[in-house]
Amino acid sequence: MISLNLAQALKAAGLVWRADLHHFFAIPERGFDDRIFVISDLMAHLDLLKGWPIVAFHGAVEWALDYILTTEVVWMPTEEQLRQELEEILLGEPEVVLQLNWRPQGYNCDIRFRGESLSFEAKTASEAYGLTLLHILQNY
- Dihedral sign, Cα of residue 97, residue 98, residue 100, residue 106: positive
**Chain-wide mean pLDDT for the chain?**
91
- Residue 17 confidence (pLDDT) above 80: yes
- pLDDT reported for residue 68: 83
Q: What are phi and psi of 23, to 5 degrees?
A: -85, 145
Q: Cβ neighbours of residue 17 under 8 Å, at least 6 residues apart?
A: 11, 23, 25, 70, 75
- pLDDT reported for residue 23: 96
SS3 assignment, position 119:
strand
Q: Where are the alpha helices (DSSP H) in 1-140?
A: 4-12, 79-90, 125-139
Confidence of residue 102 (pLDDT cuts 50, 70, 90): very high
Rounded to two decimals, the pTM is 0.85
- pLDDT reported for residue 64: 53
**What are the domain boundaries of the chain?**
4-139
Q: What are phi and psi of 69, to 5 degrees?
A: -70, 145
> Which tens digit of pLDDT belongs to each residue from 59-94?
555 555 667 889 999 999 999 999 999 999 999 899
